[in-house]
Amino acid sequence: VTLSPSSPAQPDAGADISLLNALAYVAERSLFAFCDPASRETLAAQADAHRAEAGGPATWLHASIHFHGCREGRMELALPASLARGLCLAFSGEDDPAAITDDALRDFAGEVANMTCGLWLTRRSRREPFDLMPPQVMVWPGDASLERLNAPAQAAEVVIATINDAAIWLRTEWLDGAVAPRSVHAHAIRS
Amino acid sequence: MSTTTSRASGRKALRLLVVDDSATMRRVIVRAARLTRVPIETVFEAGNGRHALDILAREPVDAVITDVNMPEMGGIELLRQIAARPDLDHVLRIVVSTDGSECRRSEAAQFNVQLYLEKPFRPEAIRDALAELAGAA
């Protein structure tokens, strides 16, 4: 189902279309973790603290997922590898941290992006199906992740949050040229 | 993809096919399935619909748990092809997808899907679904 760029689908009346809430639902339901809103200052402070302790930037996983259906766009999710490892253990029920290989960690980050994006799109409109492309996952130093977050972009929405007290970020972007229906989300930070 | 076999019990044991492009998600589904009291003889895993059809062509399978959005061949096309084969009429079909739209659910329902679960799910949802459907089968 494709709508013309001039007639983007409107979210269902009363639908919870907050990206933060979608992430929080995924965190609580599948990752057994708590998710809270956070700020750019929190993100920067955690990056500084890691650099001071470890002598360099943390390693981050950056998952990007392209979707199309009633709207075409992209969602990006970035989280520290150390957080991803802990969450992956909880998600998979694995007891042995050594079982979480680098490939498994990338696969996990992609699946978190997949679940969050899919839930967010479903909540936007239950009437419209969508297709999610396979997530592209990269490993970045924390500095590159922060630069990506702060880079000028046509972001529709940026969310910074903590999961189990570690900061992560998400960003959505429309690629179909349509004007996104604007709505105010309680904890979302728009760029 | 890996194939694992568990101990057989007195009850008819299920041969399960889990189809998802995420290896992590397949692992979660398999673990959840093993929580049920329904004995599971063998678990086959496939990363897309095409690979799943290859397995179905050579192995007897009692239940398929499939994702929808996958590379090469998605879950809906897989279900379409299963529905087109009378020899697979007995196969239980469960969809586990992030796409919870009514349209996608209706599409899946055309191919005799017994249950459509949305991701994210609690592991108990897979366990309970399998126990109920396999118990009724």
**What whole-number distance in Å separates Cα of residue B80 and Cα of residue A118?**
22
* Amino acid identity for residue A17 in this structure: I
Please state, rounded to an integer, the average pLDDT across all residues of chain A. 83
Mean pLDDT is highest, among A76-85, A88-97, A135-144, B115-124, for A76-85
CB B24 to CB A104 under 8 A?
Answer: yes
Lowest-confidence segment of A174-178, B98-102, B108-112, B126-130 by average pLDDT: A174-178
* B120 preceded by a cis bond (ω within 30 of 0): yes
User: Which of B48, B72, B76, B119 is the best substitution to test chain A (most A C-beta atoms within 10 A)?
Assistant: B119
User: Which of A91, A89, A107 is closest to A99 using CA atoms?
Assistant: A89
Phi-psi region of B112 (alpha: psi -120 to 50; beta: other; left: phi over 0): left
pLDDT of the residue at A181: 45
Considering only CB atoms, B103 lies closest to which of A108, A121, A129, namely A129
% of chain B beyond a pLDDT of 70: 90
Interface with chain A: mutation pick from B1, B2, B18, B22, highest number of A CBs within 10 Å: B22
Q: Where are the alpha helices (DSSP H) in chain B?
A: 23-33, 49-58, 75-83, 102-109, 123-136
Give the whole-angstrom CA distance, residue B105 versus residue B116.
7
Tell me the mean pLDDT in the region B114-131.
89
CB atoms within 10 A of CB B16: 26
At residue A15, the pLDDT reads 56
Asked whether this complex has an ipTM greater than 0.95, the answer is no
Please give the helix or strand (H or E) that residue A43 lies within, else none.
helix A40-54
Q: Is A141 exposed, middle or buried (0-12, 13-18, 19+ CB in 10 A)?
A: middle
Q: What is the pLDDT, as a whole number, of residue A187?
A: 38
Q: What percent of chain B has pLDDT over 90?
A: 69
What's the mean per-residue pLDDT of chain B? 89
pLDDT exceeds cutoff 90 at A70 = no
Residue A182 has pLDDT above 50, yes or no: no
Q: Which of A93, A119, A130 sits opposite B31 (nearest CB)?
A: A93
- Cβ pair B102:A127 closer than 8 A: yes
Range of A147-156, A180-189, B109-118, B119-128 with top mean pLDDT? B109-118
Dist. CA A32–CA A120, nearest whole Å: 19
